[in-house]
């Protein structure tokens, strides 16, 4: 935890509110956490500069974009060497079907979250973009029936004491 940042209760409240709705105005955020708008702006700016807030993301519904089937692909790369891992990561990140990519410990080296149009598209993706690569030793596919957002993310010592504002679907 050497990289962690000291956060007071107001900072934690700001983070909780913004994780539930990142489009909250500074005026509404300040009123919600009980500080002046200028103080709120200063605190959010400090949280950005310190790297606690990394940015804002736009979340899209893959099904509304014609990608109604989501899956997790567990991928084993052999040999697991840096000269193969780098190009593999760049290739997977460039695929339009890829939503997120994780480098793991354990029997699988990577977990890839993908969204495709249907089962035939998923089969094409696995066969043409993964198992066709020499370094890919194995791919295991799991369909996602449903997913839920969790959070908000707070430091370990603060997470147990904050109970208001349950996560909404707008984050």
In this prediction, residue 4 carries a pLDDT of 84
Kindly state the tokens that stand for 139. 């791919």
CA–CA distance, 171 with 21 (Å, rounded to integer): 5
Q: What is the pLDDT of residues 29-43, one digit of tens each?
A: 999 999 999 999 999
pLDDT by residue (tens digit) across 95-134? 999 999 999 999 999 999 999 999 999 999 999 999 999 9
Residues 16-21: contacts with CB under 8 Å, at least 24 apart? 16/152, 16/154, 16/162, 16/164, 16/165, 17/165, 18/44, 18/53, 19/151, 19/152, 19/153, 19/167, 19/171, 20/152, 20/165, 20/167, 20/168, 20/170, 20/171, 21/168, 21/170, 21/171
Distance between CA atoms of residues 44 and 50, nearest Å: 10
Summarised one tens digit per residue, pLDDT across range 53-86 is 999 888 899 999 999 999 999 999 999 999 999 9
Q: Domains of the chain (ranges plus CATH)?
A: 9-58 (1.10.10.10), 62-144 (3.30.70.920)
**This prediction's pTM:** 0.82
Q: What is the pLDDT of residue 160?
A: 59
């Amino acid at each position: 935890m050497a990289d962690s940042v000291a956060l007071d209760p107001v900072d934690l409240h700001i983070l909780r509110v913004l994780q539930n709705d990142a489009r909250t105005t500074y005026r509404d955020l300040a009123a919600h956490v009980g500080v002046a708008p200028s103080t709120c702006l200063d605190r959010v700016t400090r949280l950005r500069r310190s790297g606690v807030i990394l940015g804002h993301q736009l979340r899209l519904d893959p099904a509304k974009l014609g990608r109604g089937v989501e899956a997790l692909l567990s991928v084993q790369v052999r040999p697991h060497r840096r000269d193969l891992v780098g190009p593999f990561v760049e290739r997977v990140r460039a695929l339009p079907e890829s939503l997120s990519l994780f480098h793991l410990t354990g029997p699988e080296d990577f977990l890839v979250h993908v969204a495709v149009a249907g089962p035939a598209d998923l089969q094409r993706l696995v066969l043409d973009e993964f198992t066709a690569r020499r370094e890919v030793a194995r791919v295991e596919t799991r369909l996602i029936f449903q997913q839920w957002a969790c959070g908000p993310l707070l430091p370990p010592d603060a997470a147990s004491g904050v109970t208001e504002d349950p996560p909404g679907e707008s984050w």
